[in-house]
Structure 1
Amino acid sequence: MSEDAGNRLEAEGATLGEAKWAAVRDLGHRFPGITADEVSFEVLADSDEGALVGAEADVEAWRAIADVVPEESPERVRQLITRVVGACGLEATIDVDESAEEIRATVNGEDLGLLIGKHGSTIDALQHLAFRAAFPEPTGERKRVVVDAAGYRERRAATLHRAADRAVEDALSFSRSVELEPMTSPDRKIVHDYLADRTDVQTHSEGEEPERRLVVSPVAP
């Protein structure tokens, strides 16, 4: 990402959609709760090697929406996701549940691949925005916000668990550290938590985003 004026920036991604979501995510740090509806995009590059977009926040539109943001965190999450689903032209329903530990929003419908994105990149970005919308203030009580669509989180967790099991087997069989493929921060946390109770291996992360990856290493006896 490169910065321009206060309401403008550039962002890149593997695809045009990912670049746009990266721009909205980064603008969300300055304008909590902003969505693609309040951002105009200029495609600067789009090829097999990746995409680059310029993005400008419509500050007046964002302020108008911000004036009617619900007070309750779960409803702020619902409002954000409803608007994103509508902007994507998807037909879906949104369920939002709150527990002591988390706020979980589940999008139900068909053909939700656009909302999920490659390796979950889009839904992870949406989850980040949902957290920012739910808890716009940097202080005060917070809890985890999870955004799921069509059972993606469960399927992804199962895939990551299998990859973690293979890495553990290799690490113990050959007494060496094993690197997993580059992952997003939420995916790395899933693997780390999955292996946290094991006493024969340990995990840590290496590298810079978006190539940051988890390393599984055997624990010396």
Structure 2
Amino acid sequence: MSKKAESYLTISAPAEGLYKEKGSKFLAFAYPVTSEDDIKDRLDELRKKYYDARHHCYAYVLGADREVYRANDDGEPNHSAGDPILGQINSKQLTNTLVVVVRYFGGTKLGVSGLINAYKVSTEEALNNVQVKKIDITRTINLRYSYDTTNEVMRLINDFEVKITDQVFEADCQLTGEIKIGMTDQLEEKVTLLIDTGHEVSLEYSDD
């Protein structure tokens, strides 16, 4: 079983690129996206804005594990457009990323190898202009503990960089927060140690 990703790379804002060859223009647009609805909206926008273009070819990758992806040639010869676009997204190990290349035909056919190069280079130009950011994958934790254990729990929160989203201080306290997925095993060990030393504390994950 392959190890689940603990973080992923995506882009923080849209970016553009341009490539010209024998009169044809290839306008590349890179977008951060999180769903297929986002992708559809971006494609619709570009098709309206560049309604007179011959092709709107694209590729995208979605999900932390980069398991959802698609390449579309939009009428170009099979694998001459979508695959080169997807290849450039993959070469930078990006996800939650869409690249659309709008082609205006210049009257001279480029051949399959020429098209592959044009879609590759135009995509590369757009992706060279993006800001890449690393996103840590988190899990939601729920801690329940006695008021007397507050100091020990707060130490864990600091040590494991837990982002608190909700907190209740009573005789029986509760805390909800986000922790980086790569730190969960260590947190469980520390909670077990607290329990073994007589502290009242329990740990659950809201996504189990």
Q: Give the TM-score band, short-chain normalised.
A: under 0.3
Structure in which a larger fraction of residues adopt strand: 2
TM-score (norm 2): 0.26
Give TM-score scaled by structure 1 length: 0.25
Which fold has the larger relative contact order, with Cα–Cα distance below 8 Å and residues 6 or more apart in sequence?
2
